[in-house]
Chain A
Amino acid sequence: MLEKVGKSLMSIKLLRKVFNWGRAWSLWSVHLETGCCGPEDMARACARFDTERFGTLPFPTLRECDLIFVTGFVTKKMAKRLKIVYEQMPEPKYVIAIGHCAISGGLWWDSYSVVQGVDEIIPVDVYVPGCPPRPEAWIQGIRMLQEKIAKEGVKKK
Chain B
Amino acid sequence: MTDKSTEELVVDSVKAKFPEDVIDAKVQRKNRVSISVRGNKIYDIGLFLRDELGFDHIASVSGIDYIDAKEFEVIYYVWSMDKKVLVGLRTKIPRDNPTLKSLVDVWEGGLYHEREIWEMFGIKFEGHPNLSLLLLPEDWDGPPPLRKDFVLPETHQERLEEKIKKLSGG
Contact = CB atoms under 8 A, between A and B. Distances in A.
> Are A and B bound to each other?
yes
Nearest to B158: A110
Contacts of B153: 110
A75 B140 CA distance: 13
Given A109-B156, A110-B152, A110-B153, A116 B137 contact: no
A11 interface: no
A38 B159 CA distance: 26
B121 to A, nearest CB: 15
Given A120-B166, A120-B167, A113 B137 contact: yes
A27 to B, nearest CB: 27
Nearest to B163: A116
Contacts of B154: 110
A62 to B, nearest CB: 22
Interface residues of B, number: 15
Interface string A1-22: 0000000000000000000000
Contact of B159 (A75, A77, A109, A113): A109
A76 B137 contact: yes
Contact of A120 (B136, B142, B156, B163): B163
Nearest to B153: A110
Contact of A117 (B136, B142, B145, B163): B163
A77 B166 contact: no
Interface string A112-128: 11001100100000000
B159 A110 contact: yes
22 contacts: A75-B137, A76-B137, A77-B136, A77-B137, A77-B138, A105-B159, A109-B156, A109-B159, A110-B152, A110-B153, A110-B154, A110-B156, A110-B159, A111-B152, A112-B142, A112-B145, A112-B152, A113-B137, A116-B163, A120-B163, A120-B166, A120-B167
